[in-house]
Structure 1
Amino acid sequence: MVKSYLITGANRGIGLGLVKEILQTETNQVFATVRNLDNVADLKAIESDRLHIVKCDISSEDSIDECFEQINKLTKSIDIAILSAALMGGVSEGPMELTDSRESWNDFKNNAMQFFGVNALSQIYLANKVIPLIEASNEKKLIFVSTGLASLDYTRRAKFAGKIPYSFSKAALSLLDAKYGAQLKHKGVTVLAVCPGMVNSRNFPQEQVEIIFGPFIEMAQKFNPDFEGVMSSEEACKKFLKAIEFYGVFHSGQFLSSNGSATDF
């Protein structure tokens, strides 16, 4: 039986890794959305007639509308939608530093609104477009890609004060996951926010991994003494897909790591 996936933000990172992993199964097809069709060389290199690349800038309602006009012509259902597209990076200071000057405060406010708009509000418009296709499918799963930085427990125990705009927006997404779960559980739709863990999604060499991820690894080890380190994209995507296959409607609305709990990043 053909299983259909929607993956947003599919041109890089965890989104691209998921597309590659999903298409390893010959009965799977993927609708991969990207913000810019001029930046899809890695996707096109997959060379599969089961891969459909569609433009979708999730910060634009018009772009989302146009995207789903195309998708609705190609399929009547989506078994599993994985909403991976997100704004990354941003202001890195902790709250105590945000009012050092009026300029830094204004920069923070603008940054925070941008992140909240893309990573939380836009996900509502996007999810509402795909939910009718999910409801028409066999598996009926809506997955938001989250992060350990959206976890209150992780923030407290790892003592991580930075990345406030990104953390805010992803924490809002986790609550949005619970809200959708509350509305859709009785329809048999599984809604989850899943953290894929710490991933070397750009295949940096090991010496760069230690530099780039060093502070985050140290914090993760404080939070979870059994933390095994940064995963390759392939390893992370396998675990992510295994997790969303395992969890069903009973768990709808929960925030989980791909290791199977909200406290194991």
Structure 2
Amino acid sequence: MLKTYLIAGANRGIGLDLVKEILQTETNQVFATVRNVDNVADLKAIGSDKLHIVQCDISSEDSIDECFEQINKLTNSIDVAILSAALMEGDFKGPMELTESRESWNEFKTNSIQAFGVNALSQIYLANKVIPLIEASNEKKLIFVSTGLASLDYTRRAKVAGNVSYSLSKVALSLLAAKYGAQLKPKGVTVLAICPGMVNSRNLTQEQVDMIFGPAIESTRKFNPDFVGVLTCEDACKKFLKAVEF
């Protein structure tokens, strides 16, 4: 029996490698949404007739509507929806540095509004479009992609002060997943927020990995000596799907 996945945000990083991993099983098909269908060379290179690439800018309700008009013509159900599309604002300032100047503060507010809009609010509109298809499926799974930067425990223990805008938006996403779980449990839908770990999702060189992740790795190993470090996208996606396919 054909098993159908939706991967939102599939043009690069975790989303792209999830598509590759899922399509290694012949009985799987994937609807992969991307913001720009003119920039999907890596997806097309997969070369599977069970891959359907659909344009979807999750910051636009019109784009989401058009995306699901296409998807609804091709399938009546989706077994597993993985919402991985997100906006990552890479600031390393801690909260105390955000008011060093009025310019710095205004930049933070702008980044926060954008991050919250994409990483939390848009996820609601997107999820509500896919939920009817999930309810009509056999597995009924809705998966949000979370992050360790949304963990209060990890933030305290690893002393991660930066990425405030992104972290706040992902905390909101984690709570949103819990609220969806509360509402959808009576309908048999499983809702999870899964963190893929510390991942080299942008094909960084080892030097770049050491520079960007080095302090976080060092801090994490102080309270978790068994921490393996930064994962490749491929390894992270295998672990992620193992959690999904419980």
Give the TM-score normalised by structure 1. Answer: 0.91
- Which whole-Å deviations, capped at 9, do the CAs of 1:38-64 have from their partners, x for residues lacking one? 110000000110000000000000000
In the TM superposition, what are the counterparts of 1:184-195 in structure 2 within 5 Å? 184-195=184-195
1:61 aligns with 2:55: no
Q: Could you state the TM-score of these two structures normalised by the residue count of structure 2?
A: 0.97
Alignment correspondent of 1:16: 16
Which is worse superposed, 22-31 or 218-227? 218-227
| Contact persistence 2:58–2:118 (CA under 8 A) | yes
C-alpha contact (below 8 Å) 2:89/2:111 kept by paired residues = no
Given that 1:90 and 1:111 are in contact with CA atoms closer than 8 Å, whether structure 2 keeps it comes out as: no
The structural deviation recorded for 1:186 is 1.1
* Cα separation, partners in 2 of 1:72 and 1:140, compared to 1, 3 Å: same
1:128-207 to 2 correspondences below 5 Å: 128-207=128-207
For 1:48, the equivalent position in structure 2 comes to 48
> How much has 1:223 moved relative to structure 2?
4.1
SS at match of 1:42: helix
Give the gaps of 5 or more residues in structure 2: none
SS in 1 for 2:241: helix
Q: In the TM superposition, what is the alpha-carbon distance from 1:68 to its structure 2 partner?
A: 0.3
Residue in 1 aligned with 2:242? 242
Residues 116 and 40 (structure 1), Cα distance of their counterparts in 2 relative to 1, 3 Å cut: same
> How far has the Cα of 1:124 moved from its partner?
0.2
Judge conservation of contact 2:9–2:15 (CA < 8 Å) in 1: yes
SS across alignment from 1:91:
coil
Structure 1 residues 212 and 95: CA distance shift in structure 2, 3 A: closer
* Sequence identity percentage: 83
Paired amino acid for 1:228: V
What is the distance in 1 between the residues matched to 2:30 and 2:215? 35
Moved more, 160-169 or 215-224: 215-224
Deviations 1:172-222 (Å, cap 9, x if unpaired)? 000000000000011110000000001122333333322232122123223
Query: What is residue 4 of structure 1 aligned with on the other side?
Result: 4
AA partner of residue 215 (structure 1): P
Aligned to 2:123: 123
Number of paired residues?
Answer: 246
Q: Which amino acid aligns with 1:25?
A: T
- More off after superposition, 215-224 vs 16-25: 215-224
Aligned match of 2:77: 77
Give the C-alpha shift of residue 78 in structure 1.
0.3
Higher deviation after alignment, 85-94 or 119-128: 85-94
Residues 91 and 111 in structure 1, CA contact (< 8 A), matched pair in contact too: no
**Residue identity opposite 2:230 in structure 1:** V
Q: Distance in 2 between matches of 1:208 and 1:92?
A: 15
8 Å contact from structure 1 (residues 140, 190) kept in 2? yes
| Partner AA of 1:44 in structure 2 | K
What SS is found at the alignment partner of 1:110?
helix
Q: Deviating runs (4+, > 6 A) in structure 1?
A: none
Tell me the distance in 1 between the aligned counterparts of 2:27 and 2:132: 22
1:99 and 1:114 map into 2 onto residues whose CA distance is: 19
